[in-house]
Chain A
Amino acid sequence: MGMGRQMRPTVDEPWPLGIAGSALFHGLILAAIIFTFHRNFTAPEDSHVVPVDLVTIAEKTNVAAQAPPTPEPEKIDRPQPVLEAPPEPQMAEVEPAPEPPIPKFDIEKEKPKPVDKPQPTKKQQAQDFNALLNKLTAPDKPVKTAKAGPRVIQAQGLGNAMTADLMTALQNMIYRCYSPPTGVPNPNDLVVTYSLMLNPDGTVGRVQLLTLDGNSYTRAGAEAASRAIYGCQPYRLPPERYNEWHEITRMTFHPPEQ
């Protein structure tokens, strides 16, 4: 611990809290370490593994196409083409790929309820720690780093003054690549939300679509938003503040009224 000799119990100054107190303190330190570095315990996601979805097609013939008959101006003779259902694509002998970033909507089914829960774990832990801090510190000496407490909770909600400039920077960088569908009957169908992680070099890491219900326009809008996210990388943001912009928990795309 390196705290000097005051830590060692002596006859003159015994450890006031006893074994239980020592265990508690060790537990707190351990918890703090785990909490701080827990991200490093989760494996990083693979980026961009190319899925393979191939149709095995028999050998091609290389017969020249027949020249179409010259159409006679007055005679109407339009043979109808025969459409056959395309065969189900067969997987080739390669490892199956993870879900691509293209969102998949099951348009025929009923719309499921949107999943939109904030992550409660970290907030709860932060509150617990705050409560502990209040208990541990003496009443006449306020905790010097108290302002770090509210910041912990606020960061889960809207950005505060410290991150507003980052929000603006990202908005200005991404909108140029955002080309949503136009002329749709209901522009609200195009509103989609993603969460994403950015690498320190500003390239895009993991991207996840949070909007789960919608129609074919929603899918088109989500894909346009995804193209915007990938298209405008790398994002040039201050590297010394990487801890502030490495994760965007909610990026919502609102196409303007048409």
Chain B
Amino acid sequence: MKKLLILCAALLVASIAPAAAALQVDITQSNPQPLPIAIPDFLGDPQAGANIAGVVRADLERSGLFRPLDQKGFVEHITDINKVPTFASWRSITAQGLVTGQVAQQPDGRLRVDFRLWDVYGESQMLGLQFFTTPENWRRIAHMVSDAIYERITGEKGYFDTRIVFISESGPALKRVKRLAIMDEDGANPIFLTKGDYMVLTPRFNPTAQMIAYMSYIGTKPRVYLFDIETGKQEMLGNFPNMTFSPRFSPDGNRVALTLETAGNSDVYMMDLRSRAIQRLTSDPAIDTAPSFSPDGKQVAFESDRGGGQQVYLMGADGSNQHRISFGPGRNGTPVWSPRGDLIAFTKQQGSIFSICVMRTDGSGERVITTGHHDEGPTWAPNGRVLMFTREISNNRGSQIWSVDVTGRNERQVLTPGSASDPAWSPLIQ
């Protein structure tokens, strides 16, 4: 009898064991690659559809995070964006994302652009949006489409619907003409804002993107001017007896931090744009300059050589708690606070080599992210992960504007009409 019991027990246990096996896996390696995405020309007007899709493809490819596939390899031809695509045919060409869109002119003359972003593996729509605008604004719509796709895939805000203000240089080396210029972030629509009969330096956008502050040598002394992009009018910011330079707007657009030089000493000041009241923030005998606001407007990063060579310091927006945060090798200056708030980019000089670096706001985690020998003056994209900067070409052949991802990847030149420097990135256009 006991043999029977044991046998039955064995039967029980043997029947339990295989059913409950399960597995746990940890994936700790990755293989970051640009996302293969298929973006056929938008339907509707063939020219407009090709133009808009072309700008979207170029935007996404330029970010380094997407790889638009060649249309010639597409198997399925989209004829109706309201029909679900045949995902298997897109998988067969290794697409992981698919964008279908159409362009239509409205009876009132406006342009309407629809698009859908599809997840090819999950076989579902990830995003669908409509835009309306005047036809001549089609490039902005294309950039907004790119921003929407970028944000949906990466989780970060996009930066394609932005503009760059910069100094455009032309003329022979001994008679350089520097003009203030503005262009779309992809280099399209370059426009000169000044004629070049006076020197302009360090232009900076204000947060509403309609006004630029810059330094100019109208007359003999450098002064800060405000330039209204819409009206073309400009005004001098304050009438100080001495030099004023390196202006930068606060995130709310109501204040400008700038450097005033009095009796050979440079200090950071804050001016309220509405009342024109001015407050002195630093009173150190050293050179304090290049202020940059934190995204919440409560702190200011700046450059000071009070400790010997130039280093990066932080202080409250009222000048309190001034303390040094850069302790890495070389001289460190021109700090710019990321709009994301987590990093500060700056220029590092070691011997004759100038490079763009980033560090956390407590000074830790310092990283060099560019590979040139004379890279300086970084500016952040509004999403806080792409930087532009000035790269000087050797042999006095002028300078170029380059961009780089905060990870150090995807360094590439920004196309400009000739030699260019001092880029400043606008916020997303409202």
Contact = CB atoms under 8 A, between A and B. Distances in A.
Contacts of B229: 76, 78
Contact of A252 (B1, B27, B138, B230): B27
Given A129-B12, A181-B154, A100 B27 contact: no
Contacts of A80: 430
A165 to B, nearest CB: 11
B405 interface: yes
B22 A247 contact: yes
A35 B13 CA distance: 11
Given A71-B189, A143-B9, A244 B23 contact: yes
A183 B136 CA distance: 35
A170 B126 CA distance: 28
Interface residues of B, number: 92
B191 A73 contact: yes
Interface of B: 1-2, 4-6, 8-33, 35, 44-45, 47-48, 65, 82, 84, 87, 96, 102-107, 109-111, 114, 119, 121-126, 128-138, 140-141, 144, 151, 153-156, 189, 191-193, 229-230, 232, 340, 342, 385, 405-407, 409, 430
A100 B123 contact: yes
A137 B358 CA distance: 70
Contacts of A25: 8
Contact of A61 (B20, B106, B193): B106
A224 to B, nearest CB: 9
15 contacts: A16-B1, A51-B124, A53-B128, A66-B109, A81-B141, A122-B19, A167-B25, A178-B27, A181-B155, A183-B406, A185-B342, A250-B24, A250-B25, A251-B26, A254-B28
A156 B4 CA distance: 31
Contacts of A81: 131-134, 137, 140-141
Interface residues of A, number: 115
Nearest to B123: A50
A100 B23 CA distance: 24
A69 B189 CA distance: 12
Given A55-B82, A227-B96, A159 B12 contact: no
A157 to B, nearest CB: 8
A219 B152 CA distance: 9
Residue in B25, B96, B111 with the greatest tally of chain A CB atoms within 10 Å: B25
Interface of A: 3, 6-7, 16, 25, 28-29, 32-33, 35-36, 38-39, 48, 50-57, 60-66, 68-69, 71, 73-74, 76, 78-84, 86-87, 89, 97, 100-102, 122, 125-126, 129, 133, 136-138, 141, 143-145, 148-149, 151-152, 155-159, 163, 166-167, 170-171, 174-185, 215-221, 223, 225-228, 230-231, 243-245, 247-256, 258
A7 to B, nearest CB: 8
Given A69-B136, A245-B23, A249-B22, A179 B16 contact: no
A183 B409 CA distance: 10
B148 to A, nearest CB: 10
